[in-house]
Amino acid sequence: MSTTIRQLHQLLATELGRVVIGSDAAVDALLVALVARGHVLVQGVPGLGKTLLAKTLARALGGEFKRIQGTADLMPSDIIGVHVFDEAARTFVFRPGPLFADVVLVDEINRAGPKTQSALLEAMEERQVSVEREVWALPPDFLVLGTQNPREFEGTFPLPESQLDRFMLRIDVGYPAREAESEILARYGGVGGAAQAALEQVGVIDRALLAQARAEAEQIHVAPTLSDYVLNLARASREHPRLSLGLSTRGALALLRGSRVVAGMRGADFVTPDDVKQIAPWILPHRLLLTPEAALEGASDSEIVTALLAATPVPR
């Protein structure tokens, strides 16, 4: 039975819960991303605590947090870093940019230009950056949290498919429930620095536990029929009449890896189709591209995923 992943899940929920209220789904998604070494796209309107969530995660991991604000004039060198001349050493030295952190929040990522968005591709996939024919490694637990507002399109540059595919999960953050919002008002409604004080109370999770959870996830059994189920979902998305772009092989791998972590969260040592169904709404929608006709009819990527899961036969 899986125990380390459950322990890490409980610790993460406890520490994030000290600051972020009503974030159970986000905690589950972040755990999957941490254990499976993925990145997370957080979609929601402004003012719902996305930045606070990223700061709290970095604090819980005991890692460095950096924030990049997406703007039209943001250049690749602004996030990667530049070479500057050192007068004392009489040579050029590299000054790392904000990408060199454990948790990087790219706020309003779709407001950055295509050139800057492309600069993130190598970092997210290979955890390294190339500058002046030199390769610089990023932190081993490097995690990108990108945010975007799905209702604001003026002055934005939609993320290309290659960029979206590098985000393992997309979580849609909606307005909190009334009880949770009432607690938020009570806790943070003063004029003092209540949020900062709450952040300082967050305990650091042992990184060794994260390494053990990753090793444990590798040992969770995936039956051949379960792998076939993932492949059938990928094939069905590629052949769906309302989709012009289906699930990539990278997406199928993410679905399988995420399912392992979900199985570990419930204490199992094998993956079931229900684990795949639970993680699919986070992994599939942002990778699917609707046909123009489907978009005009008002269809959504999440609705297509629900239909795919309902239509694809589940292995016994």
pLDDT of 282-311, one tens digit each? 999 999 999 999 989 888 999 999 999 999
* Alpha-carbon span 203 to 17, nearest angstrom: 11
189 vs 6, higher pLDDT: 6
Q: What is the pLDDT of residue 2?
A: 65
Arithmetic mean of pLDDT, 161-165: 90
Q: Tell me, what DSSP letter sits at residue 171?
A: E
Q: What is the pLDDT of residue 235?
A: 96
pLDDT in tens, 242-284: 999 999 999 999 999 999 999 999 999 999 999 999 999 999 9
Q: What is the pLDDT of residue 250?
A: 95
Q: What is the pLDDT of residue 1?
A: 60
Domains observed in the chain:
4-206 (3.40.50.300), 220-311 (1.10.8.80)
Q: Show the tokens assigned to 230.
A: 């993932």
Residue 139 predicted with pLDDT over 80: yes
pLDDT in tens, 191-241: 767 878 888 888 889 889 999 999 999 999 999 999 999 999 999 999 999
Arithmetic mean of pLDDT, 50-60: 90
165 vs 46, higher pLDDT: 165
Distance of CA 233 to the CA centre of its chain: 21
* Alpha-carbon span 21 to 24, nearest angstrom: 8
Q: Show the tokens assigned to 247.
A: 């699930």
Residue 190 predicted with pLDDT over 80: no
Q: Tell me, what DSSP letter sits at residue 193?
A: -
3-state secondary structure of 147: strand
Q: What is the pLDDT of residue 21?
A: 87
User: How high does pLDDT run on average in the chain?
Assistant: 90
